[in-house]
Structure formats: structure tokens, C-alpha cells
Chains A and B, each alone.
Chain A
């Protein structure tokens, strides 16, 4: 059996590599998506005061620190035994929605649009944000503006864009001022127009990607996400729902606190990323997906008119439960529309300026679980503390971990379609990477390549001899 290695993968957040294992006939027999980073936050946090945890956990990531802030704060809320004031719940929600907008904008415009706009076989020298800016400046402007929209909300609330504070155990540290609210609301119409324009562009070009859509992780799976009691999407609150690819509900109103009853975690020797699975179906049959594609599958509706209109068109064209991971891109754009609508709604409500924004308490429980929908999917923070509130044990179930099994299977599917023997075109390699990008994995907060990261591909014979090496730099 010979091997093809793609390392590092370009245009993703963090560091990873892909190994393709060829059989004697030169067909792709297996594939692995390796996460090559080790962060160790579950150990770093041990011995820290629980009140520090939201700020500490935000440092896990520079792209989605708000997700960790919120999930961590909710775990701390349980340990304190407090009921977070309603205004604070809404304010946390606002920050989370802003983060989803900016993160989805980064994923779509900066990381994936080069493939979508220029083509998966386009010259890699310009198959990046440079090429996007040259070919479609409006797309470049819209991406920049949408990311700026979300980032400025986060900065206004939390003091800075990367690793903001403000979300604390018990609520938030300060109420929203009228001037802040008005500043944000003034930017909503422009953001809404840009999101709508991008969505129209994507829908108009769907026919360009039919081959990719048919093999980018196009298999049945379970789906999981938070759902509000009304059946609407819930990004910061709600209960868990798990469905199968036909929409049969396997679990509804699942209590996040008892995630251990239905989510198992497996460790494979070839990756630092844990693989989660739906326990009742075992490993690896309990493969499920989270994130935009999954959220749009598990909810009944999103809950705002414009977004529900887009969702109706999406379901009319793809079916009620689309299975192809390619459509994460479409789902992502619909969520941007929805999040902007929600921001408008929340900020326009008269109670949003309320001053009761934090509940205070000492340690009342020794264990707490917080869950939130990160841009990439459901995120769990689970802490145990001693009587003094010092952290004894941490378990983090990261959004991207939920998708690990699905990403591996998606890589295999794409590779089998595009990689034949030792003839590996650059476009084929790019598609193998692109299916990972569709999931928008967040492996760390590091580089955002614009298409020129070095890639080394080695093809090794069954005897272990190097047959061919392809590099790009």
C-alpha cells in the first residue's frame, strides 16, 4: 500500500495534514485527516480559579474566542448556581451572533471563495484572496465589510476583537450603553445588503459546483444542534436535538449537562483531535455532523422572515435534509442573514439597555457544563472544581471534534473520486483540501493562508520507497 500525504493543508484555521493510502491497484483505500497541533488547555486550566476560566478559555482560539467565553461562562454559571439576568442572556447572545457573522465571513470569503469564484483547478499562485480581489472586487469588499461588522460589535462590547472579555460568570461585566447600541444598529442595513448580495451570487453559481457537491461528503449521517423550544435556531441556549439523515428525531430536548450519556469520545493514534460519536449507535457508526449544515437540518425554522425565506429556497432545491458537506457554504451564508436579523431584533428591543446584567454568588456546585453553538458547531465546556472553586478537571468537546469522523470520511470520498494511482493533479489535491475547508474546522487561531502555504506530497511504494514527491511553495 502506498501513501499520499498532504501537509500542511492550506486555507484552514490551524495546522493539519491528510494522508491518502493507496491499494495495489492505485485506488484510494483509506484516508486520514490528522490534526497535528496539541493545545493542552484541559490540563492548563487545572488548578486555576474557576472565575478565571472564561478569559482563560477564550485564549483557545483567536477566531472564535467568544464561543469559548460563552460556553465557559455557562459552565461557571452552573457552578455558582446562579440564574443569569435576562438582559445578560440577550447581551451574551448578541456577542455570539456577531462572532458567527465574522467567522462565517472569514470562512467563506477569505478561505473558500477562491475555489468557488476562480475554480478548484485555478492557478494556485492566485487561487487566494488576491485572486478574489482582482476578479471580483465587490466580493472582496463585502467580505471585508461583513467581517468588520462582526468584529466591531465584539470589540465594542468586549473591549477588543481577539480574546475579548466582558462575558463573565453570572452574566456580563457591564450593561450596553445607548450610544453603543445606536452605533451597531446603524451598521445593520449595510451588513444585511452585503449578506444578501453574496447569497444571490452563490445561488446563481450553484451549477458550477455540481460535481463537487456530489462527492464533498455526500453521505447520510446524523446531525446535532441546539434548538429553541419553539423549533427555531438557538445559538447560545436551547436544548440538543439529534436527527438522522431522513429527519427521524433520535433525541429531542437533550439536556446538555448529560452530554456524556449520548456523546462518546474516541482517540485515534493518528490525530490529536478526538472523534466524537453518538453513543447509542456506537463507534464509528454514530458518526454525526454539527455546524451550519447540521443546524439547518435539525431546526424546524430559523425564526426571522428573511432567513426563513432563504431556508425555504435552500430546502426546496436540496431537499429537506441535504447531506452534502459542500452545502455548508450555502448554510453558512443563510446563517449570516439570520444572525444579522437576530442582532437587529435584539438590539431594537427596549429592554436591551437594562442595567441588571450580572448575578453574583460563591461556589454552590462542584460541577458545571456549558454549551453553545460556535460558528463550526456545538461546543461543550465541562468543569469540576473543589470547595474553594479551584478547577480540578476540565473536558472540552470542541465543535470541530464532532465533525472529525465526517471529515475523515469526506476526505476519503473526495480522494476516491479525484485521485487515481500516482497521477495526482494539483486540482485533485486542492479538492481534497477543499472538502475540509467546507467544514471550516477551527484547529487553532493561527495562520490564514492566502493560498501559498507550502505543500509536500509524497507517494510511497508498498515497499516503502519514495516513488514521487510533489512540492509547492
Chain B
């Protein structure tokens, strides 16, 4: 079993409406950490976007969680959890579909960690369906209401996967929690 902290990032642009929900979920987790001691072993961070510098911290973690908004036609406020396999094969890093840092995906980052630092954990992506990505701060009521469920999904991913690295749990997570496990796609209207 890998050692190191759980690494969690909530990312997105808080000046573009629901695009900021990832950061809001991360801040909710931070509140839990400092108020009731939840996620005690986690490093929780907020960011505008995924960056290659994160690959170093990820390589030293035992599990990585990415929290993001998703504009893929799902109902606003719906929560999705996707599991990412640990990159095991050595080889060149080939970011799929990425032409700039704004398109950097969680899978790219895990692969970059493996390529550069020889080590990468498995991961999970928790996404919240968006209602609006217009200019301005503040979440839609649907996205706001989804924060506790998204935080719970993070907790579920950590407890079910990080603590049981050898188990294939995708279907069981779907059954236990009722969370939809879906491919992670970035919104076409990402700021």
C-alpha cells in the first residue's frame, strides 16, 4: 500500500459561476478538517486549473482526488464519481487531448507524475453538474446544494479505494452510494 497523504484539489474559476464549485467543495472539506478533524490525513488545495507543478505532490501521495465542475448535459447539481487507475506502465507521457494547461486532465496529471517522478497513485474525480457558467461570482442553488454530496463522494472514494488499493470497486461504489460513475469530461464552456 502506498504511503503519504491523500491529495485533494478542488479547481475551477470562481468568477465564472458554477465553474467555481470545485473550489467550494474543497473549502468545505477544509472546514471539516479544521472543525471536526475530518480528512485529517489529506492535503487539500484550491486552484484555478490543474498545473504540472501538482505532479510532484501527487507523486508523493497515496491517493489523489480531483473535484471539478462538469458541463456535459447532466442535471445541474448532480454529483458524479469516476475512478482513475494507478498509472503502472512506464513510458512517455502523452497528454490526450491537451493543447494547453487549461485542458490538463486528472489522468494527464497522474501520467505526468509517473513519467517524471516514477510514481503515481490511483485517483478519483468528483464532478458537479453545472447550471450556468456566466461571468460573476456565486453558485447556482443547485450547485450550492450539491456541495455536501460532493464532499461525501470524496470521503467515499477515499474510504472505499484509498484504504483498499487492490479492490476493483467501481460497481460497488455505484451500488452503495447511488452515485453515478461516469467518464469525466471538461465543460465546453470552461473559462
Contact = CB atoms under 8 A, between A and B. Distances in A.
Interface stretch (B81-89, B93-101, B132-140, B173-181): B93-101
A447 interface: yes
A453 B115 CA distance: 24
A160 B98 CA distance: 25
B160 interface: no
Most chain-B Cβ atoms within 10 A of its Cβ — which of A144, A160, A162?
A144
A447 B48 CA distance: 12
B26 to A, nearest CB: 12
A337 B13 CA distance: 33
B55 interface: yes
Interface string B98-109: 111110000000
B6 interface: no
Nearest to A131: B92
B117 A453 contact: no
A309 to B, nearest CB: 29
Interface of B: 46-48, 52-53, 55-56, 92-95, 98-102, 112, 115-117
Contacts of A134: 92-93, 115
Given A144-B52, A144-B53, A449 B92 contact: no
Nearest to B99: A452
B53 A133 contact: no
A448 interface: yes
A104 to B, nearest CB: 14
Interface in A426-452: 447-450, 452
Contacts of A62: 48
Nearest to B104: A450
Contacts of B93: 130, 133-134
B7 to A, nearest CB: 14
A147 B51 CA distance: 10
Contacts of B52: 110, 129, 140, 144, 147
B53 A147 contact: yes
A450 B100 contact: yes
B53 A137 contact: no
A451 to B, nearest CB: 8
Contacts of B56: 141, 144-145, 148
17 contacts: A62-B48, A133-B93, A133-B116, A137-B116, A144-B52, A144-B53, A144-B56, A147-B53, A148-B53, A148-B56, A162-B48, A447-B101, A447-B102, A448-B100, A450-B98, A450-B101, A452-B99
Contacts of B47: 161-162
Given A62-B48, A133-B93, A162-B48, 12 more contacts: A110-B52, A129-B52, A130-B93, A130-B95, A133-B92, A134-B92, A134-B93, A447-B100, A447-B101, A449-B99, A450-B95, A452-B99
Interface in A441-473: 447-450, 452-453
A151 B53 contact: yes
B116 A449 contact: no
Nearest to A137: B116
* B47, B56, B101: residue with the most chain A Cβ atoms closer than 10 Å: B101
A453 B99 contact: yes
Interface residues of A, number: 23
Could you tell me the dominant secondary structure of chain A's interface residues? helix
A133 B112 contact: yes
B115 A133 contact: yes
Interface in A396-425: none
Nearest to B57: A148
Given A134-B93, A151-B53, A452-B99, A144 B46 contact: no
Contacts of A453: 99-100
8 nearest interchain CB pairs? Answer: A452-B99, A148-B53, A447-B100, A448-B101, A134-B92, A449-B100, A133-B93, A141-B116
A268 to B, nearest CB: 29
A311 to B, nearest CB: 28
Contacts of B95: 130, 450
A421 to B, nearest CB: 31
A145 B98 CA distance: 21
Interface string A140-155: 1100110110010000
A86 to B, nearest CB: 32
Contacts of A130: 92-95
A349 to B, nearest CB: 28
A223 B63 CA distance: 50
A450 B96 CA distance: 12
Nearest to A135: B92
A86 B31 CA distance: 36
A290 B150 CA distance: 48
A141 B114 CA distance: 12
B43 to A, nearest CB: 12
A450 B94 CA distance: 12
Contacts of A133: 92-93, 112, 115-116
A405 to B, nearest CB: 29
Contact of A137 (B46, B48, B102, B115): B115
Contacts of A147: 52-53
Contacts of A145: 56
Given A447-B102, A448-B101, A453-B100, A141 B117 contact: yes
A160 B48 CA distance: 10
A62 B47 CA distance: 12
B59 to A, nearest CB: 10
A118 to B, nearest CB: 14
Nearest to A105: B53
A144 B115 CA distance: 13
A407 to B, nearest CB: 22
Contacts of A129: 52
A144 to B, nearest CB: 5
B116 A160 contact: no
Contacts of B117: 141
Contacts of B102: 447
A62 B94 CA distance: 26
B116 A144 contact: yes
